[in-house]
Chain A
Amino acid sequence: MGCCFSTEEDDQGSHERSPLLPDSRTSAGHPAPTSSLPTNHLSKTDEESALNQILQRTANDVIDVTYVEPHSLERSELMGRTREYQAQIASLRRVKSSSAMPNSDQPPPIALSRELTSSADLKFLLDRSEATDAAVASMEVKHGEALVVQFAAP
């Protein structure tokens, strides 16, 4: 409001300065002191909010890698986590199969008459596993020129 102590007035009550139409810009219904220059006011807030947006976006994009001091764990926190992990692992170990022979519901004749794995298959597996193992072991960097040159001693 334009007059002194106007904020202490009853907002709900109508008075000589109450706007006849609800003002969409100010939520409380009080026109700002600069309301005589609505366009200026608008552009100012726009600029400010745009600047704030840019600032916010930049702040979001920045990755502060200069901060190399990691958050180090407190001893008590570490102990707590250790206990938690151990409890989890212990609970996993308790899971056991309920039956000593799971999935043994096939009639014996079917299970027993199943064809055995052929020796050709086994030989194929053996040969191939040896070949792949050799391939894994043979992975290396192809040597080109020397990486380091020494400065010639005077």
Chain B
Amino acid sequence: MEGHLEHQVTEISQTPGVVGVICTDPQGLSLAARGTLKPESSGLVSGLATQAASLNLGNGEDDKPTIVVEFDTGNILIRGQQNSTLGIHKV
């Protein structure tokens, strides 16, 4: 049932430079997680996407923001979509 999703997430996690991937549902519940991004961070990732989207006033709900959280040890890139939010930890 979830084979397609698992395949996508595994493929992302095997991309050079990627050390962690997480996919959450719109309520912040974890759908799939790999590497450094643990299922426990699903709420935070989804929350960041939702909060960032709420800054975007007047441009319609379809305009989803991309969030980059910068650390000394790498970046976490987050992008919300209709049914899910994707977080990628890249070094």
B70 x A114 contact (CB < 8 A): yes
Could you say which of B8, B68, B79, B85 contacts A135, with CB atoms under 8 Å apart? B8
- List residues of chain B with CB within 8 A of the CB of A140: 1
The answer to whether B19 has its CB under 8 Å from any CB of chain A is no
Contact B86 A129, beta carbon cutoff 8 Å: yes
State which size class the interface on B falls in: 20 to 34
- A3 interface residue per 8 A CB criterion: no
Secondary structure at chain A's binding surface: helix, strand, loop or mixed?
Answer: helix
- Per-residue B-contact encoding for A124-154, CB less than 8 Å = 1, 0 else: 1110111111011111110000000000000
Q: Across the interface, do B2 and A122 meet the contact criterion of CB distance under 8 Å? A: no
Query: Would you call A128 and B84 a contact (CB within 8 A)?
Result: no
**Which one, B2, B7, B8, B75, contacts A128 given CB within 8 A?**
B8
Q: Is the CB of B23 within 8 A of A132?
A: yes
Chain A, interface size category, equals: 20 to 34
Query: Is B84's CB under 8 angstroms from A133's CB?
Result: yes
Residue on B with the closest CB to A131?
B8
A117 sits at the interface (CB 8 A): yes
Output the least CB separation between B19 and chain A (Å): 14
Please report the C-alpha to C-alpha distance between residue A140 and residue B81 in the assembled complex, in whole angstroms: 19
Cα-based distance from A122 to B77 in the complex (angstroms): 8
Question: Can you list 30 A-B pairs with a CB-CB distance of less than 8 A?
Answer: A114-B70, A117-B68, A121-B75, A121-B77, A121-B90, A122-B77, A124-B15, A124-B88, A125-B66, A125-B77, A125-B79, A126-B66, A126-B79, A128-B12, A128-B86, A129-B79, A129-B80, A129-B81, A130-B81, A133-B83, A135-B4, A135-B7, A136-B23, A136-B31, A136-B83, A137-B82, A138-B4, A139-B1, A140-B1, A141-B1
